[in-house]
Amino acid sequence: MIDIAKELNTTLKATVVGSLLSPLGKRIYFPKGIVKQSQDAIAQNCLINATAGVALQDGHYITHPHFNTFSPIVSSDEMVSYAPTAGVLSLRNMWNNHIEEENPPLALTSHSLPVVTSGLTHAISIIGQLFIDEETDIAIIDPSWDNYHLIFKVTHQAKIHNLPLFNDSGLFDITNWEQPCKEMKGEKLVFLFNFPHNPTGYTPSDKEMEEITHLILDLAHKGKKILVIVDDAYFGLFHNETCSQYSLFSSIASLHENILAVKCDAATKESLVWGFRVGFITYGGKNLTKEHYEALIEKTKGAIRGSVSSASMVSQSLLISAMKSSSYSITIKKTKDEMKMRYERIFERIASYSHDPILVPLPANSGYFISFYYKGDAGELRKMLLKDGIGVVSVGEHLIRIAYSAVNIEQIDTLIETLYEGARSLWK
């Protein structure tokens, strides 16, 4: 094993991180090669810097002059330069301030500075590299986003255990998780929670979040080493007071010394920049020190360096500029209000079909989606609606997901009417 990796492992050995790292996670490190030495030269403000493989003239990038006409808010240097492996420091600090403002308890909790990734999927993939292998038991909310299985089951061959989000009565019921948790036999356990949930659009209440926290804490008290991955892709899109307004990360991050919490989020939905592919990883754990976080970030940088090298500089530069603008918060709030209005209109229309047993809407109070349980074949219903010019997603055999986030509010009535008519016609 490379000496750098050994040093990082020694730093982390006495912590929960050392117990959770996968074999790859133990081997990974950020090399002290070209990128590190180039960063050293930049930090020293060298008069002559001959380290990086870029074309410069008088300290500026030699690039296409028409880039200067693309945007008056960022320079061509800010577009075409390489970003630091962990991301632009000012953006990392801005995002840290953002998540602390949105989650006041987090400001008093020990956690790392966020690391920038190439989108949220990349963030989750990196966590897979660092912590997941074929011996890992990982519990995931069911139904789930299909990418989880691609990352954890197909890529890392983990043993997946499904935690039913709702009971047979269509209610959140954590007692349904007792059996799947009993089937997780290892001393190392991984839980993945994504609220607001995709595909249902459900976020637990404060009381239900406490139940989840107590479940994790009880396992930690029993000596289990636990990784809790919090996928906050749709964080902040809370449409009423029935759902908790804080990230689960804020209550897990300093819960117990046997627990490492990881917050995976992104500017994607929160900042309305879907194609920028800017995500973040933030770590939190009780009794973890600055030295521990730095070692973990070095391993995270190694995973980034070994895959995409660094996230897009132009995306980070544009995002920084947007977050600094006076219209940023106003635009975010306006968009959240629009999503809430669409959500409310969806449920107004569904109410008129409340006695129709063919489609049963699952609980939803947040995010972009609502899902329906369909007694028939969801795949067949999707295909039939597609022929009628209506696009929906089928999840498994009986679930239909609607992304009302992508539908004009004046189109919602037609969408719901066509959905129910199609379901009835197929069921007959």
For residues 20 and 150, state if they share a domain. yes
Same domain, 364 and 257: no
d(CA 214, CA 286): 16
Q: Which domain holds residue 370?
A: 328-427
Does residue 32 have a pLDDT over 90?
A: no
Q: Per-residue confidence at 52, pLDDT binned at 50, 70, 90?
A: confident
Mind listing the pLDDT tens digit for each residue in 57-100? 888 888 888 888 887 889 898 889 999 999 999 999 999 999 99
Q: Residue 238 pairs with which residues in a beta bridge?
A: 366
Quick check: 428 pLDDT over 70?
A: no
In a domain, 52, yes or no: no
Do residues 108 and 232 both lie within one domain?
yes
Closest to 251 measured CA to CA, from 206, 213, 295, 299:
213
Q: Are residues 320 and 333 in the same domain?
A: no
Query: Could you tell me the CA-to-CA distances from 115 to 36, 122, 146, 231, 303 in Å, in that order?
Result: 16, 12, 25, 15, 12
281 pLDDT more than 80:
yes
428 vs 330, which has greater pLDDT? 330
The residue among 291, 324, 357 that closes a domain is: 324
Whether residues 314 and 365 share a domain: the answer is no
Alpha carbons 152 and 129: distance in angstroms, whole number: 9
pLDDT at 36: 76
159 versus 427: the higher-pLDDT residue is: 159
Q: Is the pLDDT of residue 41 over 80?
A: no
CATH code, 133? 3.40.640.10
**pTM, to two decimals:** 0.94
Domain membership of residue 47 (yes or no) is no
Task: Over range 380-409, report the average pLDDT.
Answer: 95
Residues 282 and 337 in one domain: no
Residue 1 has pLDDT above 70, yes or no: no
For residues 339 and 236, membership in a common domain is answered with: no
CA distance 158 to 163: 15
Q: Do residues 310 and 417 both lie within one domain?
A: no
CA pair distance 256, 218, nearest whole angstrom: 10
Given this model, what pLDDT does residue 90 score? 97
pLDDT value of position 59 = 84
In the sheet that holds 359-361, the strands lie side by side as 359-361, 369-374, 399-403, 393-395
Picking from 299, 324, 349, the residue at the C-terminal end of a domain is 324
Q: What is the dihedral of CA 94, 96, 99, 103, to 10 degrees?
A: -130
Q: Supply the pLDDT for residue 47.
A: 79
Percent of the chain at pLDDT exceeding 90: 82
Dihedral class, residue 216 (left if φ above 0, else alpha if ψ from -120 to 50, else beta):
alpha
Is position 53 within any domain?
no
250 in the same domain as 164: yes
- Is the peptide bond preceding residue 23 cis, with omega within 30 degrees of 0? no
Considering the domain boundaries, does residue 78 fall inside one? no
Residue 46 has pLDDT above 80, yes or no: no
Sign of CA dihedral 313, 316, 319, 321: negative
Six token digits for residue 141:
């909310």
* Confidence bin at 45 (pLDDT 50/70/90): confident
Residue 262 scores a pLDDT above 90: yes
Distance CA 237, CA 243 (A): 10
Last residue of a domain, one of 292, 324, 356: 324
